[in-house]
Amino acid sequence: MPEEREKVSVFNSGKTETSTVTNEDRKTRKARLARVLERGIVADRLIVNLPTNLYGEWVSDDPVSIARMEAMGFQIDKEFAPSRSLHSTGEKMGKVGDVVFMTCAREDKELIDEIRQEQYDRKHKRGKQREETESAAQIRKEGLSTFVESREHVARRSDIERVLTKEEG
């Protein structure tokens, strides 16, 4: 159950005003103020709520970066991000500092991520690296067992004594 309390406000003119404030209002305001103090207003402005079928990204506001993103299917957002802008260019767009907000279909973004992952996998092949293969070959050449070929044995005191007496004799 929300708890209510009286709030007295005093203005510069000397006028006072009494109002009722609930704890829920106070908690909401406190959460908002904590977020602003923690991250600042700019970080708060960078969050753009989009429908589930869209993906958005802040992109450098230079012609090369914008052209690259447009070639991948992105477009400058004129619907969701303009209300989040801190700077204006005279056009209806989301702009904060030297970045603009661009959107594309979520399906296109998933395809881009899939292609990037495939490129990464080709470049960084999984499996044994050359050094590991060469090292294992050298160990086998010397007649030593590799870690993969080694086995665990339980050694009792009598086994150790037997091995030591063989070496002495």
pLDDT band at 81 (very low <50, low <70, confident <90, very high): confident
Mean pLDDT of all residues in the chain?
79
Q: Please determine, for residue 163, whether its predicted confidence score (pLDDT) is greater than 70.
A: yes
Q: Which range scores top for mean pLDDT: 43-47, 52-56, 164-168?
A: 52-56
Give the closest residue to 9 by CA, choosing from 151, 114, 18. 18
pLDDT of 1 reads: 42
Q: Please determine, for residue 128, whether its predicted confidence score (pLDDT) is greater than 70.
A: no
pTM to 2 decimal places: 0.51
Mean pLDDT of 122-151: 72
Mean pLDDT of 19-35: 75
Calpha distance 160→168 (Å, rounded): 13
User: Range with the lowest mean pLDDT among 75-89, 106-120, 146-160?
Assistant: 146-160
What does the radius of gyration of the chain's CA atoms come to, in whole angstroms?
33
Calpha distance 73→106 (Å, rounded): 11
Say how many C-beta atoms besides its own lie within 10 A of residue 101's C-beta.
Answer: 24
8 A C-beta contact, residue 124 and residue 116: no
Pairing of strands 75-76, 95-96: unpaired
